[in-house]
């Protein structure tokens, strides 16, 4: 397993915990319709708008 080559079991548990937390927070914010703050909106408009991105609910 690639993780074992670089991290011990405790580190792997921590990494997976962070991934799970952010997965939960993403679902929570999507369910609650949380608004993005000004900085992420401006970054999205600057870097992602040319690709068709717009502020709104992700699918």
Contacts of 12 by beta carbon, 8 Å cutoff, 6+ apart? 3, 4
Cα distance between residue 33 and residue 3, in whole Å: 35
What is the reported pLDDT for 58? 60
- Which DSSP string corresponds to 2-45? HHHHH--HHHHHHHHHHHHHHHHHHHHHHHHTPPPPHHHHHHHH
User: What average pLDDT does range 6-16 have in this prediction?
Assistant: 95
pLDDT digits (tens, 9 = 90+) for 14-45: 999 999 999 999 899 888 888 888 898 899 99
Buried b (16+ CB within 10 A) or exposed e, 14-41: eeeeeeeeeeeeeeeeeeeeeeeeeeee
Instruction: Give the confidence band of 59 by pLDDT, cuts at 50, 70, 90.
Output: low
Domain ranges of the chain: 2-51
């Amino acid at each position: 397993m690639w993780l074992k080559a670089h991290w011990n079991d405790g580190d792997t548990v921590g990494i997976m915990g962070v991934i799970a937390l952010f997965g939960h927070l993403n679902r929570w914010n999507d369910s609650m319709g949380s608004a993005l703050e000004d900085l992420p909106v401006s970054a999205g408009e600057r870097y992602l708008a040319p690709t068709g991105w717009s502020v709104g609910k992700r699918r």
